[in-house]
Structure 1
Amino acid sequence: MQEAQPPEKLSPSSTLRLKDLVPVFYQEGRYQGDPVTLGVGGFGRVALMTTLPHGKYYAVKRVSKKHIVAKRQEEHMLFEKKILKAVQCEFIVRLHGAFKDTRYIYMVMEFCSGGEIWTKLKEVGRFDEPVAVFCTACVVEAYAYLHKKNIMYRDLKPENLMLDTKGYVKLVDFGFAKELVRGEKTYSFVGTPEYMAPEIIKNQGHDFAVDFWSLGILIFELLAGSPPFSSSEPQKIYAKILDGELHYAPYMSEAAKSIISKLCRPRPGQRLGNTKNGIKDIRHHRWFSSMNWHKLRVGQLEAPTARLIRKGPCYINFDRFPLDQTKAEEEFSGWDRDF
């Protein structure tokens, strides 16, 4: 395997190499003996792997190069790797190494053993307010870090939030992230329909404000169990978003309704987080009145999400996926020479 720049040192004497990683196998159930798959997406699979000497676990994302080229995602992949290599934030998943061969590119990521927020939400139906407050606060910290570095995230949703062993939330999947100079706008049509801000749909040009809109949608979904604007057809979702009517459930607190409506204002310039005080306004909103931001940042808070994490084999908090025996075709265009 060719390696990108020497990956991060794991211990003074060792560097992580792809060939040092071995699959973890299901120990029981109908897939017993098969390698553990943590997730499957349009772009590839994420496998659970370990290193023999010190038994550390990693989530290894494997993506077909042929597929990347077919979908014209070369720039996105290179940018995702560049961002993840550069960021060092407790609320963003870490990249330990990037590799490639003739068929795939591999990203060796930190393993978040608590699983996806999406899975937990489906298990319990909807989150109690303290759990939603905690999850959202972790996202606010990730946003503050990224926006300071002039990076828009643009793909917030429960599927892209993972829990670590302590129950802290980390942002994963930077396929839609983009660097943007303050004051400029970009015009690409990206995101997940339910989470798209009106200005993306109207193609009016967008900036960091789209991340605050999606934060409001996330809070709503965590508290209600489903997003405020939904339909099986994207066009209908867009129509509802542009219509902009939010229907709150009776069990939502006044503070929750207040922060959601302030984040989901149709005009980007009026959104909470996007006015002159920036992200501070979000931290100071009364919905977060119980949050000790400093303790959160240094990892000293008891995470209310911890009780959602099941005990058992290291993959217990993930859905199970059957083995995929198919092999991607080889790809030699060379777009990935800097990967």
Structure 2
Amino acid sequence: MTNLLPPPQETPTLNLNGLEIFSALGRGSKGVVFLVKSETKHLALKVILKESIEKKNNRVSFEQRVLSRFDHPLFPHIHGVLETDKVVGYAIDYCPGRDLNSLKKKQSEGMFSVEIIRFYAAELVIALEYLHNQGIVYRDLKPDNVMIQENGHLMLVDFDLSTNLPPRTPSQPSPATTETVRDSTVTKKERFFQFSGLCNSGISPDDSESKSTELDSSGEKSNSFVGTEEYVAPEVITGTGHDFAVDWWSLGVVLYEMLYGTTPFKGLNRKETFFKILTKPPCLVGETTALRDLIRKLLEKDPNRRINVEGIKGHDFFSGLDWDAVVNVSRPPYIPVPEDNEISEIDVEKFVHEIFAKYNGDNNRSSSNMKGQDRVSNTLVDNNGNFLDF
């Protein structure tokens, strides 16, 4: 498979004892992120408990390998890796503006103006186009993974759910028109068990383990169930195979959320959310505008008809935009204010161990305490996204 990313650069080794630890920026099933300082700059250090990575070692190594190859202003640079007897980790650029979700909470009623949406949407399109041209499907676009750099520009982070597909070039048709590569022996009942298992489990879709992180070069689509449930595309839920088009769906969800302050398909539980994604059109309240039209085309349930990158960049919403100048804009809509950070007495290894222990305990309790109404019973999803009895 052709890979257009440059060869990985040699990554320096970090010494945990040589870092100043300020605070924990985020935590979850995929690791704990700390704000640290090396000899020269502040960094975001992602740390993972060693004993937890055996089953997802491919994901961890894939993310590190991808990070080491990025050469783009909207993507992080890996500044070093560390390993102790108990944890492994790596450091990337620290974004003092935190994430897009945090910025959304600062907006009036949690909604952005159209002009601000246009700027951030353009940067997200540029970032996704860069990934797709390298043959990488992001598969986890959501506000929590969109960081705001010191200069006000965006930065995409978290690539452990990403996967490789044959790179797309501008001369190719929309990738959604490629033929689905899938095992013809997969039956409807097997798909039911896959779908109902995801609905019944105590884990989120983004925690589900992909059977393979990287596809063979002959594969043009992936059949893995990955993503975050409110942002996941219909073809991921139905298991009919997915490709680069899933990222444009997720972009539509993000733009909808920026405009309306909420995601378009959120239900009371996972089953209802998936049902809405598969069957309900987005509720685009208000007069017809270029932004609402773009969102509607991004949230096209049929990936064969969903707007692609050429259609997006040529859409009226971006009329008059100089795409080559976007990442060089000197005054983006929001410039983070520098903060004074105090050093904290944090035992990183102990802290990470406690977080993973708590997360796994909560997961086990959630799985065993699922209520009956949250379960999918005697139903499956057909190729048209319909729930059927069997």
TM-score range normalised by the length of the shorter chain: 0.7 to 0.9
Question: 1:288-325: per-residue Cα shift (whole Å, max 9, x none)?
Answer: 1253211113x13421133xx3453269xxxx9x9874
User: How far apart are the structure 2 equivalents of 1:162 and 1:272?
Assistant: 25
SS in 1 for 2:106: helix
Following superposition, the deviation at residue 100 of structure 1 comes to 1.8
Question: 1:209-238: per-residue Cα shift (whole Å, max 9, x none)?
Answer: 111111111110111111101024111100
Following superposition, the deviation at residue 282 of structure 1 comes to 1.0
SS in 2 for 1:271: coil
User: How far apart are the structure 1 equivalents of 2:145 and 2:115?
Assistant: 20
The residue type equivalent to 1:23 in the other structure is E
The residue type equivalent to 2:162 in the other structure is A
Following superposition, the deviation at residue 197 of structure 1 comes to 0.7
Whether 1:152 aligns to 2:137 is yes
Contact 2:48–2:352 under 8 Å retained in 1 = no
Contact 2:100–2:148 under 8 Å retained in 1 = yes
SS in 2 for 1:112: coil
Whether 1:292 aligns to 2:289 is no
- Output aligned runs, 1:21-100, within 5 Å: 21-24=18-21, 35-52=22-39, 54=40, 56-69=41-54, 72-100=55-83
Following superposition, the deviation at residue 268 of structure 1 comes to 0.6
Point out where structure 2 has 5 or more consecutive residues left out of the alignment. 1-7, 168-177, 179-219, 355-390
SS in 1 for 2:334: helix
Whether 1:312 aligns to 2:295 is no
Contact 1:93–1:109 under 8 Å retained in 2 = yes
Query: Which residue, 221, 224, 246 being the options, matches 2:257?
Result: 221
Judged with a 3 Å threshold, the aligned counterparts in structure 2 of structure 1 residues 314 and 141 are, in CA distance, closer, same or farther, namely farther
Query: Which residue, 145, 161, 167 being the options, matches 2:146?
Result: 161
- Output aligned runs, 1:256-275, within 5 Å: 256-273=291-308
User: How far apart are the structure 1 equivalents of 2:145 and 2:237?
Assistant: 21
Point out where structure 1 has 5 or more consecutive residues left out of the alignment. 9-14, 25-34, 274-278, 330-339
Q: What's the Cα RMSD here?
A: 2.4
The residue type equivalent to 1:284 in the other structure is G
Corresponding position of 2:111: 126
Aligned positions, number: 291
Following superposition, the deviation at residue 67 of structure 1 comes to 1.9
Query: Which residue, 223, 234, 257 being the options, matches 1:198?
Result: 234
User: TM-score, normalization: structure 2?
Assistant: 0.70
User: How far apart are the structure 1 equivalents of 2:37 and 2:352?
Assistant: 22
The residue type equivalent to 1:296 in the other structure is V
Following superposition, the deviation at residue 44 of structure 1 comes to 2.1
SS in 2 for 1:115: coil
User: How far apart are the structure 1 equivalents of 2:322 and 2:160?
Assistant: 31
Corresponding position of 1:335: none
Contact 1:7–1:98 under 8 Å retained in 2 = no
Q: In terms of mean alpha carbon deviation, does 97-106 or 169-178 score higher?
A: 97-106
Q: Percent identity?
A: 30
User: TM-score, normalization: structure 1?
Assistant: 0.80
Contact 1:23–1:36 under 8 Å retained in 2 = no
Corresponding position of 2:360: none
The residue type equivalent to 1:179 in the other structure is N
Contact 1:93–1:110 under 8 Å retained in 2 = yes
- Output aligned runs, 1:106-117, within 5 Å: 106-117=89-100
Following superposition, the deviation at residue 168 of structure 1 comes to 0.3
